[in-house]
Each structure stands twice: as C-alpha cells, then as structure tokens.
Amino acid sequence: MTQLEQQENQVIRELVLPEAPPPPVYVPQPEGPAYSAPAFVPEPAPDTADRAPADPAQADTRPQPGNQSGNQSGNQPRQAPTKITYALTLNRSPVVGNRLRLQGVYPETRLGFTRPQGWTVESAKAIIRYQHSPSLLADRSHLTVRVNDTSVGSVPLDRPDSQIGQATFNIPANLIQDSNELSMLAEQQTSDTCSNPTDPTLWTEILPDSKLVFEFIPKATTLNFSQYPYPFLDEFGLEPNQLAYLRPQSLSADWLTAVSRFQASAGRLSDRQILDTRLVTNVDQISATEGLVVIGTPADQPILSRLAMGYSVQNGQLLDGSRQPLPNDVGLLAVATTRNQENRDIPVLVATGNSAEGVLKAVQYLVQAPDRQLATGQAVTVSNVAQVPTPEPRSWSGYLPTQNEFQLRELTTLDGQPYSDITVHGTNAPIIEVGFRALPDDRLLQGSTMTLHYSHSPQLNSNNSAVEVMIDGVTIGSKRLTGNGQDNTFNVNLPPHLIQPDSTLGVHFILQPEQPGICGLTADQQLWGTLHADTRFNLNRENVVQVPNLELLKAGFPLASPQDLSTTAIVLPNNPTDTDVETLLSFSERMGRVSRSDSVKLTAYLANAVPTEVRDQQNLVAIGARERFPYPEVFEASSSGLSLATGFFRQWEQSQAQTLPDREGVIKAIPSPWSRDRVLLALTGQTDEGLREVQDLFNRDPLFSQLRGDTVLISRNQATPSPYDASGYNLEFLQQTQPRQIRNTTLLRRIVLFLQDNWWLLLLGMVLLALLLYSFSQLFMNRVA
C-alpha cells in the first residue's frame, strides 16, 4: 500500500449507515399572544379608528390537536391552520422611530421587511397613517406606495388642517418575497406654477403606528441539513429566534465548550435579529415557538434513545447500520421532531457521539462555514473536521483594511459586498453612508486624507450646489459643484479623533437646478451625483491601544482578536448553576455577533481545571455569583476600585456599605494578573439576579452599545423592560484602574508616541538643556577671563 493510499484511508472512514427513517416534517405552530410581540397588534375593523386588539376567541383559528399517535419523531404532521393574521408596525424599524418625514417636492423613503420562511402568504395590505402640511395643494399633491418597485396605490394629500389620514393599500401576495422593500413617494406642491424645493412647508409625516398586515398559512417543512439553520434560526423571521438547550445530567468543560461554540455560531447566523435562549431539563418545558438543541452523549442525554434519527441507541451508545457502536472519535448530527406537553411539534437539533470528542467534533463541523455548507440529509456522521487556519489578529471583516492606502471598493457593505459606484438623484438626495470602522487597536494620527472622486449632472446651480463629507454626522469638508461635473476630485483631511470602530462616512450631494423656474419630476430627477468606488484613502496610523476599556468590547476587542475567538477562554465555577450557563450563552452569542470568521474556537473550563498555559496566554472571562466566583481576588479589598465581599458588603476606596439585598449585575475588566497583553473580564453579582442583569446587557443592543469605563453596574427599574428600549435599566460606569498601553510599533515610533502623550517632558527637557548650556557657557567665559 502506497503512502498516498494510507493517507486516504486515514481521511476516508466509511461507516455502515442505518436505514433512513421517514423524513421528519415540521409545521410551525404560531400562537397568538406568545407569537406576537406587544408592538404587533391584530388588524382592526376598517371602520374602527382605535387599534383595539381583536377578540382572542376570533383570533385563535388554529385547529385543536386531534387523536394523534404518540410518535416522538412527529412524522405525521397535523393539518395546517386555515389563516393567521400578523401585523407588523413600522416603528419596529429604527429608521422610523417616532416619525418618518417626507420633505421636499418629490421625496421618497424606503423601508425593508422580510417574509418568514415558514409562511405561505395568502394576502397582505399596508395601512398607512399620515399627516401632512396644510399648505399643500390637494389637487397636485399625492402619496404613492410601492412594494418591490411595483405601485400598489396612491392617495391625494387633501386632509384639512393637518388632520390625520389613513389609507389601506392591498398588496398582491405574489409580490411578497423573502426580502422586500416598501417605498413611499410623495409629490408635494404649494404653488400652481413652481414650488420651491427648500420650502419648509413641503412635508408629510408617516405615523409610526402605520403597519403591514399579513394573512398566511404555516408551511410544512421537511427537516434537512441543506436548509440549516432553518427552522431553528430564521434569517427572515419577524419575531426573535428562540432556542432551548436540554441540560445534561452533569455539566462538563467539554459540554460547556461545545455549547459556547454553537451559541457563538447561532449569534452570527442570527445577525441583526434577537435570539432568545434558555436551559430546560425536559421536553415538556418547550413552547411551540422554540427549537430544541440536544448536545451530548446518549449517556448524558437519555432523550436520544426516543428520537427517530436513524441511529439507534443501546446501553448508552450510538449504533451504526451493522449494530456496532460508532467510534468514539466520530460525531453525529441529526434533525428530528418531538412533541411537548401540549402535543405540539418541536424541531430538534442533535449533536452527539459516543464520547465528548465525538460530540465536540459534530458541533465544530456545524459551526465552520465551509463544512456546514456541505451538510445535507437528516443525519450526518462526522469522522474528520478540517482545521480552519486562525486569521491574523488584525484581519477583521467589515473594518478598514490593514494597509494604509486603499480605495472605497475595498470596503464592504453590511451584506459583505464590496462598494461600487453609488448615484443619488433629486433636490432631496439622501446621504450616501459608508461604514468606515477603524480597527479597535488603531490610533489614527494627523495627516490622514481622503481623495473623493465624484461626478454630477451639468444642470446645476453652482452657487447653491455642493458636496459635503461627514464623519458620524460631523462635516469635515465641502466643495461647490462646478463645471461639467465629470471626474472631479476633492481632498479632505480626516480628523483622527472622529474615526472610531463604529464610525460612518457620509457623502451628501446638495443639488439645486440651474434654472429654479423649471419644475416637474423629470427636471428634478435630472439632478444627480455619483460617488465613485475608486475614491482613495491614505491613513496615518499606529497600532496602539489602552486596556482595559469596556468601550472596545462593543467591537469585541481584545476578546475577538483574532476573529475566531481562539485567544479567549470562559471560566465557570466548579459546580455551575443554570444561571451561570445562561450567562455563558449570552456572552458567547454576543461574541459571535461582533466577530466574523469561518470557525469558532472558543473554549470553556471549570475553575479547578484551567490549564496553566491557558491562564497565562489567553484572555479570560470569569462567570459566577460572588460566593462561587472563580477568581475572588478580582473583588477583594486589596484590589483597586469597587470590591464585593460576603454579606452584601461593598467597598469603594475608604468607603464601605452593606446593601439589603444587592441585585445589581457587575461587569469588570482588569489587566490579566498572569499576562501583560491579556485581560480578565468578570461577569458577576452578589446573587443570581445580578447575573441575569448581566445577561440582559449582552442580549440587548441598546444596553450593550453604552459600554465604557472598566466597570459597569446594571440594574433594572422596571419589572419587564422592553428589549428595544434602554430606559428600563440603570447603568453606572466606573473607571477604577489605570489603563495599560499596548503598542505594536517600532522603537522609534514608541519614543515619538511617548513624547506625544507626555509633551510636558519635552518642555522640561528643553528647559534643562538651556540651563545646562548656560552653565557651560559661564564656565567657558570664566576660564577665558
């Protein structure tokens, strides 16, 4: 046998496959109150002004469970409900907020919405509530609604004295796709001859309680890994994705590592959607809107013996088609269905094996994008998992390139696509926004420039037309639009202090017609401005950062450097509680959301089994309430800043107090005691209630986006705060320790940076040098005399 054949035999391991069971079929079972968030209300009767909720007895059109067999696999789907009504209010979009204003003669606004994958849309309509300026001419002002560039109706803007109007637009069901765009265009005139586009009385406001109403039938889906992550995660869903992890009989470091990696991957796949997760101990606790995730060996998860996943279980071991146990280093992925205590179908995702090695291998296959794309069928046995190379620490997708000179086309959109030429039209042209996110450990210096390459239409009034460049809404440069408008350039200095890891570059074309007396939509749309993709940037920067700084954690730094999370380890108490594990899930999900890579290499340990090399070389995230915290020295009185002690004692410098009780959550970052370039992040509190507040901070964007300082105290001031509003919580930020500066530069640049940070030393040195020269000159003159 040749060496090549031996290598192939090591890679290719053929297992005897069992007979495939009937494919599991899952029918979503949305429930009225549980399925719709408070912001979504049932559609009122057409003649009802107030949007009162519909009668629950009328809203619940789901059929009652019939006499079904007790098949745990759920291969016999129930009859689908007739029709379900769902209302999506426009204020769910951050673009709308309290109002959506249309300003100008021909303004337009666009909103995106999605169609869940489990829907078969039967009908849809847009109910638009609006208010407009009383100065508008009723016979010349209209509001038009489009869906995916298809007009679905118009309404005249003829309400007297700015009274609120309401219009219903029927949307053909065949127009609704997975991703959709709702456009609202207005023609607003205040003059019979020519309206001034800068007239402030040209306005119409779309009220935030406007909504889209859908009637749909839940769609039966055959579970298959080729559709993963659906139905467990729906990228087009309008409600939060919901996962429930089945808690094994005992919690080990291997299980915690597998769960943290899967949760980080789920956070990435959920992207900008909310993901609700929790631990359960049995299937009866699962609701109809959740997906069940079972991770562990058959010995740890007895439910595996009752699931129809093709591979049978005997004596706590998985058997292949020849009734032989699967090798310990082989993992198994499977999808199935089960039923909860309400006899509802629940989709089940299984990652198992006959050993912890096999379980982790199955999870790793699912979290690695190149491998996950190859998965198909109801069950996948994983014999080998490719080792995805760890990316460079400063190779971050969606951020500025590491080279100092680059073009706009080298930046990427939110969808991961490179920027191309962008053109806007009209006197109310929208601002072109480009993500201009500096790497968290970048320090920009004076001398950074941008060479804007742009073009514009020739029919412009050069006295009133200009192009502006902004960083986060702050104008940093502008230039009048003159000449024929072709291939113009404009050099702009980039202020170093404005460019942050969450910055946005804006280019605003202010377009005014050459002859203001010419009116009409055609004349307005002849005005255009184009930002070209070869716009150049030349940055002057250094790789310098100060830690600890929780503001950097908003971008994941330093825990997500590199982006596969391979330098971060989570440490839990020796006997973790469910609250500890749920905190691990919240943290892992957030780290998945703020990072992008083809793999996840996060690890988890119990406090008494952290390897010395991990403690000394990695960033550590310690989780646990005060009495069981893995590293209690973080909150001892001898440490700097806030100290927590038993008996609900708190100490700050020389002040000491005892609270009754202390339900606040605490997040504290300190330099790692075992490594100069690493940090120790503590997620803790005096009680489990405090840990739940920490979970909320990582789960909710309005809270997480406020992080700063090195210590955060979190508490709630409402019993059930809204996930979209931070006002239900109290956050206190503290700066307790002196930040440590980490530099990755040459010795000469370190000296220059040191003098920039300590400029007073340069002045002191100049004074001392002058005194020294004066002393020498006096000695010389005395000797000559």
What average pLDDT score do residues 93-105 get? 82
What gap in Å lies between CA 365 and CA 361, rounded to an integer?
A: 6
More confident residue, 516 or 28: 28
What average pLDDT score do residues 643-650 get? 55
More confident residue, 560 or 781: 560
Q: Which long-range contacts (CB under 8 A, 24 or more apart) does 632-639 make?
A: 633/673, 634/668, 634/670, 634/680, 634/682, 635/668, 635/682, 635/684, 639/670
What gap in Å lies between CA 622 and CA 231, rounded to an integer?
A: 33
Listed range (28-42, 359-373, 596-610, 721-735) with the worst mean pLDDT: 28-42
Amino acid at 40: F
This prediction has a pTM of 0.85
- Residues counted in the chain: 785
pLDDT tens by residue, 32-52:
433 443 333 333 333 333 333
pLDDT band at 195 (very low <50, low <70, confident <90, very high): confident
What gap in Å lies between CA 664 and CA 687, rounded to an integer?
A: 8
**pLDDT above 60 (res 745):** no
Say how far residue 274 (Cα) sits from the centre of its chain: 8
Three-state secondary structure string covering 474-541: EEEEEEECCCCCCCEEEEEECCHHHCCCCCEEEEEEECCECCCCCCCHHHHHCCEEEECCCCEEECCE
Fold of 222-382: Chitobiase; domain 2 (3.30.379)
- Integer-rounded Cα Rg, in Å, for the chain is 31
**pLDDT above 90 (res 391):** yes
**pLDDT above 60 (res 739):** yes
pLDDT band at 272 (very low <50, low <70, confident <90, very high): confident
What gap in Å lies between CA 43 and CA 449, rounded to an integer?
A: 53
Amino acid at 714: I
Fold of 405-539: Jelly Rolls (2.60.120)
Average pLDDT of the residues of the chain: 85
Listed range (41-45, 251-255, 367-371, 507-511) with the worst mean pLDDT: 41-45
pLDDT band at 433 (very low <50, low <70, confident <90, very high): very high
Residue ranges per structural domain of the chain: 81-218, 222-382, 405-539, 549-576+596-743, 747-784
Fold of 81-218: Jelly Rolls (2.60.120)
pLDDT band at 6 (very low <50, low <70, confident <90, very high): very low
Task: Note the pLDDT of residue 755.
Answer: 59
**pLDDT above 60 (res 113):** yes
Judge whether 87 and 349 are in contact, CB under 8 Å: no
More confident residue, 746 or 559: 559
Task: Note the pLDDT of residue 636.
Answer: 64
Task: Note the pLDDT of residue 752.
Answer: 59
What gap in Å lies between CA 246 and CA 244, rounded to an integer?
A: 6
Task: Note the pLDDT of residue 186.
Answer: 93
**pLDDT above 70 (res 640):** no
Q: 9-32 burial string, b = 16+ CB within 10 Å, else e?
A: eeeeeebeebeebeebbbbbbbeb
What average pLDDT score do residues 465-490 get? 93
CA angle (97 as vertex; 95, 102 as ends), nearest 5 = 65
Q: Do domains 81-218 and 405-539 have the same CATH topology?
A: yes
More confident residue, 338 or 740: 338
What is the spatial order of strands in the sheet that 432-435 belongs to?
432-435, 504-510, 466-471, 474-480
